[in-house]
Every structure is written in C-alpha cells, then in structure tokens.
C-alpha cells in the first residue's frame, strides 16, 4: 500500500551544468515544480493509515518548501557565480549535487527517509519509508526516483542552506541539518493520541 502527497515549489531557479542543452547549462532559469512524495509501510497504524498526513504537512513540507523561490547551486559550480548569486538572493541552497530534476528527486527521497528515520511515531505505525519521489520540472516532463536508486547519489550529501531558507524551518529541522542527521537521534515526534477507542 502506498500514499501520496503533492507539494508545489514555485520558481526554483538553477543552472544544470554539463547538460547537453546550451540554454539549460549556461543560463539561470526557473521551474514551477510539483513534487510527489510516496510513502509505504509494512502495516497500518491504529487509525488504519500508513501514517497520518500530518507528518507530511509538517517537517516534510518544511523541507520541500526550502526549494520554493530559491536559487539552487551545485557545490562544484564556479565560486564567483555562487558568491554573486548569494549576494543578491535571500533564499539559496548549495547542494552536493547538480540540480537536475533526476538528482533533486533522489536527494529529496534520501532526505525524506532521513526525516522519517529521525521521527518518533506514537500510533502503532509500521516500517514507514519514502518509496519514491516524482519531481515534475515542467508540465510535460518529470523525474522519478525510487528508494533503491539512492545509491546513485554521492556519498557526502552535506548541503548549505541560507538563513533566508532556515528562518522558515521549525527549530527541530534546523538542529537536524546542523548536527548532520545522525543515525538513531529522534528530532521529530508524531503526535501522541490522547485516547484510543
């Protein structure tokens, strides 16, 4: 069984270096993206759900929303270009990946799984996973990544998020990224049920 949540990311701006399309690789451009996040589990919780959509409206939404009205850079890009874009933009992210739709969907799948692993669930949830992410870059094109594709990402996935991005985050998400997403630490908590029927 699988559930899906849609997120809109407006005007995410980037250059995709090394692309065969000259426009794509040499000019800053933007996309109004739709991000589809799919979750699976080996069982349903006490409410008969994989997980309450509330978790997707909270921490996961805050993470995906980081890309909204935001400049994204590949950490291997030209230092002068990155410095100049940072100077004129409040919201930016320096990523360890080239910001193609394919790599953005993989990166989001990876981070969402890290968020899930760092969440304490309190309603009998099973083994929840982000099974896939579909990143619709345009009306006619998208990239779909699956959890088994995550090995296509580089080993070091440290990103740098501007203060303009982080100011919209809850304190737990700030700590999560600041401390390097360590294994076994629960930064987030799914609400506890007051009374079970």
Which are the catalytic amino acids? Answer: 24, 69, 137
C-alpha closest to that of 2 among 26, 35, 36: 36
d(CA 80, CA 63): 27
d(CA 130, CA 39): 4
């Amino acid at each position: 069984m699988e559930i899906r949540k849609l997120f809109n990311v407006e005007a995410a701006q980037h250059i995709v270096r090394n692309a065969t399309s000259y426009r794509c690789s040499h000019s800053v451009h933007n996309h109004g993206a739709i991000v589809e996040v799919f979750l699976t589990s080996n069982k349903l919780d006490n409410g008969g759900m994989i997980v309450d959509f509330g978790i997707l409206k909270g921490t996961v939404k805050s993470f995906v929303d980081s890309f909204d009205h935001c400049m994204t850079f590949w950490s291997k890009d030209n230092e002068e270009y990155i410095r100049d874009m940072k100077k004129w933009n409040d919201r930016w992210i320096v990523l360890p990946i080239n910001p193609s739709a394919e790599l953005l969907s993989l990166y989001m799948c990876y981070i969402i799984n890290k968020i899930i692993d760092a969440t304490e669930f309190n309603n009998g949830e099973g083994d929840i996973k982000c099974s896939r992410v579909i990143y619709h870059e345009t009306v006619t094109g998208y990239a779909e990544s699956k959890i088994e594709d995550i090995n296509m990402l580089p080993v070091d996935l440290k990103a740098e998020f501007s203060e303009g991005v982080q100011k919209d985050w809850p304190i737990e998400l700030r700590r999560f990224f600041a401390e390097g997403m360590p294994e076994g630490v629960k930064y987030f908590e799914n609400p506890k049920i007051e009374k079970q029927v």
